[in-house]
Structures are given as structure tokens and as C-alpha cells.
Amino acid sequence: MDIFIRTKRYTGPVQALVLDWAGTAVDYGCLGPMAVFLDVFAKYGVQVTLDEARAFMGLMKKDHIRSMCRTPSVMDKWEAAHGRVPNESDVEAMYQKTEPMMVGVIAKHADLIPGLLEAVDAFKAMDIKIGTSTGYTGSMMDVLVPEAAKKGYSPDSVVCSTDVPAGRPFPWMCYQNAINLEVYPMEAMVKIGDTISDIQEGRNAGMWTIGLTRSGNELGLPKAEADALDSADLAARLKGIEERYFEAGAHYVVEDISHCPQLMAEINHRLAQGELPLP
């Protein structure tokens, strides 16, 4: 391990990535969690929409439910069904149902996103280590990690929201990946993900960030449906997602993981000039 003492700017290359899981590496369209959130709220007589459920993807699952319960439209539906707005007891009760339901569906949504293995090979050829972070919990990852391994994807580090004090947008999962991978400083690392909370996590950790527009939560379509969209419609949707990512602070925005290896040379050039991923 090379030793870097922070008396000057880091000018070396990218050393490691932190990839999200669903929508970035597996589960094109990030479909697995959606059915669970809709079903859990339905068990309480509340019919939430896909947009209401997708708005908080990337957060730890209990935080996701809590955030949905704070959405005005969901609060109105809950009050209509129960005569009051949802409280923390409701969040806890729904989360207790969510955990086993999520574990049950993850294996069915573990297919690798096209281009992932080729991208990983390209990263490894650049001596870049692969870490991961996720809103999934430990029990969920106990299912997903071996399923992905069967298909050829085994990252160097796996950190989930229950391994650290708090999930996204806090930077703790990225910091734990840096420790696991023995990589520093944080500007030598790149966060790649398909949600706004991924971008926020990477920025809070002092990393370069790349947002993915087509394969993940923001578009929210399986590959076949995305491919079938009218080209002008698809371009307009992706443009809107790109704008939201840049507004959140993304350094780069591409369609999916297959476009990421080519960005490493540009980030390396910026690092060599002494540039930091901070404003």
C-alpha cells in the first residue's frame, strides 16, 4: 500500500470505486424493491404510487418507509384510511413486514446489468478496486451477494446500511469501503449509482460521483421497455434525469455502468492537475 501524507494535493490515479447494487450492478430498472413497498402499504389500506415509492430509493429501507410516510400525498391517504397521519410505530410495523418480504424477492431480481462484467474487467485492468454500498440490509445482502457471485460478480468489498451508524446520504458506507479496501484519500475514489441519494453519499464522502440515467431507479423501466420507448421520449426522460443528477452535484452522468470505464482517464487527468471533487 502506497503511503500518502496530506501535506499537498493528491495527484495520483483513481484507486477504487464504490458501486451501488440494484439499478447499477443488478436488477435493471431497480424493480425488486418497488413491489415490496407497494405491497406493504397496501396491507395497511394505503395505495401508494410508484412515484411515491421511487422518490426515496437508495436510502436504508426503514428510512425509505419513514420518508414515504412524511410525503404529503401519502400522509393524506393514510389519514383517510386510519383517521390520523402515520407515526413512528407505523414505520416500525411496516419495516418489520418489509424485511422478510424484501429478502424473498431479491433473488428474483439479481440478474446482472448488461455490461457490468466487462466494466469490472476494465476497472481491474486499471488496478482499480471495487467496493459497494446499498440501502439493503445485512439479511438482504446475504441473499444478493451469493446470487450475484453465481453470475460472475464478486466485488472486493460489500458494505450495507446496517454495517454503519446510518445509511445514505451519510458517507459512512463509503468510508467503510475505504477502510476495507485500504484506500485513501477519498478523492482517489469514485461513487457510481442510480439515485439522488447515491450522488449525495459520494459528495458527502468527498468522492467523485457518476450518476446512471437509464439502468436504474430514476427511469425505472426493465431493459426491454426502455429499449421499446420512442427515441425522442427516451431522450427527453434521460435528459431530465441528467439535470436532476447535476443539480444534486454529480460530476458525470452516463446511461449505465458500461460507460464508466472511459471516464477514469478524465478523472485521472483532473487528479493529476491537483483538482479535488469538492466545489
Q: What is the 8-class DSSP label of residue 4?
A: -
Q: 42, 78 in Cβ contact below 8 A?
A: no
Q: Which of 2, 8, 20, 76 is catalytic?
A: 20
The runs of H, that is alpha helices, within 71-171 are 72-82, 88-106, 116-125, 138-150
Whether 20 sits among the annotated catalytic residues: the reply is yes
Return the C-alpha cell found at 193: 449509482
Q: How far apart are the first and last CA of the chain?
A: 29
Task: Choose, from 27, 61, 129, 191, the residue flagged as catalytic.
Answer: 61
Would you say the C-alpha torsion 133, 137, 180, 203 has a positive or negative sign? Answer: positive
Rounded-to-integer distance, Cα 47 and Cα 68, Å: 12
* Residue 16 falls in which region: left (phi positive, over 0), alpha (psi -120 to 50) or beta: beta
E strands present in 22-171: 129-132, 157-158
Parallel/antiparallel/unpaired status of strands 208-212 and 252-254: parallel
Q: Minimal CA–CA distance to 80: which of 51, 45, 32, 120?
A: 45
446470487: which residue's cell?
Answer: 147
Residue 252 DSSP label: E
Sequence-ordered list of residues with C-beta below 8 angstroms from that of 28, at least 6 positions apart, any chain: 111, 113, 114, 215, 222, 223
Q: How far out from the chain centre does Cα 270 lie?
A: 24
| Positions marked active-site | 20, 61
